[in-house]
Structure 1
Amino acid sequence: MDEKKIRKKLEQRLARSGRKLHYDREKENLRVENDATGKGVDIALSPLVAKWHERKEQAIDEVVYYVEEALQVMGRHQSIAGQEKKIYPVIRSTSFPKETGEGVSFLTDDHTAETRIYYALDLGSTYRLLDEDLLKKEGLTAQKVREIARFNVRSLPVDMKKDTVRENVFYFLNTNDGYDASRILNEKFLQEKAETIEGDMIVAVPHQDVLIIGDIRNPTGYDILAELTMSFFTSGKVPITALSFTYEDGKLEPIFILAQDQKRKNEREKE
């Protein structure tokens, strides 16, 4: 399955009266747009090809479902009033668009060199990323939204599954509530976890529905974590980053695991 075939499959399933489908060859994106409103969804095709080889038709089904839900939501007016408890921060890659297809800026904050924070109104089966226009209509300040979202993410459960591989301990949070990766913003949770770590604390958010914390106690642990992270990254509905982060003194720093392994190898050769 190549990009051209994937695009044809999507066009066949998403074509409707009142919709416009446009392929951007340069960006390798397929845009599905409502004719009346001009609002739409951009689908990145290259990552979808990789997912198809992993999950076959299920990968297509998930994208079609997401697009249909998103277009339906765009056709309705969303009011934040009375729904403040449903505002959450979401983590995205720095390559994720910073504005809507209509050119309206999303509310964002810098996070790491690999990730950026967005803010979303949870709508049940989908969500609406908050943008400047919506905040103005609702009379909300960006700072107020940030405070609400940070408070709400701290209220989410953080029960993790544990697995030990070759003396390294890995913790997984995978509730599939759409905000698993967002738990990386729960500073108290990370600090408490750091107190239990015996080796190096490494954190990963390969896609939006998983958070991985590694207690890396030997060089093999880095190799295992790299494989885990890449596997999750290629299979997630909303990929974020295949890189992991060291967590030390309350700070997250991207780590190139191969470079780390090479550094350790060099250090051993010097001994």
Structure 2
Amino acid sequence: MWPPRFRHGVVLLPLALLMACDAPLHTPQQGQQRPHRVRLTAPEPAIVSRLAWHADEKTVREKPVYTGPVEVVFIHHTNNANNYDCKRDVPGMLRAIEQRHIDGMGWDDMGYNFVVDRCGTIYEGRAGGVNKPVRGAHTEGFNTHSVGIAALGHFEKGQKVPRRMLEAIAAIAAWKLPPGVDPRGHVKLVSRNDASRYPKGKAVEMNVISGHRDGYETDCPGGALYADLPWLRRRAAELRHTATQPPPLHHRG
């Protein structure tokens, strides 16, 4: 739903964004050195760059703005038809979204930070660096310290969101959220714009992984995708935990 307001090829970058967990590995016995605490890690997923989908950089109006650590992830859908071919159609669809956001909405660039297709491929959205806190134009009043992830398609109630798409969205959220932020938790945000669901200056509590409708008067990301948000929160937390588990010990018999 429209808000009113490849880098070369596919890239896979190093592990990033560590998150401290309060529980130690085990309880030390008297006289033992206290062990280090578990640190949860989420790897950066493979991301198709703007160069690879041929974003029109000449139409981008301003340089990217950086806002600091991500506090909240907003989930969207783009309102496109769902029967597209992932390899053949998606680059052109992304260019059309970019053009609509710039020429139709008057924004500096594509509003979303990331777009995910139904096959689970992740695309770089707004320019500025996928590993940087780029301010998007995806959720009026709450674009600062947030990341916008758009599911390419239309996911109203009664439709099924592809599992590969959900897995990719969870992977981005698990990676982009910084230390100390639980994907299953809540965050207090202050609206920066009267055009949002809340008047400017209003402090509101939201889920760390929220839907567009939580911050703006819209049905985005659609009833089906919105209903999958609890699963996305759990899955993002699980990805962080699983990625840092030590390998099993193999004893020789």
Query: For this structure pair, what is the TM-score category when the shorter chain's length is used for normalisation?
Result: under 0.3
Q: RCO (CA 8 Å, sep 6+): is it higher in 1 or 2?
A: 2
Q: TM-score, normalised by structure 2?
A: 0.28
TM-score (normalizing by structure 1): 0.26
Instruction: Identify, as 1 or 2, the structure richer in strand.
Output: 1
Q: State the structure with more CA Rg.
A: 1
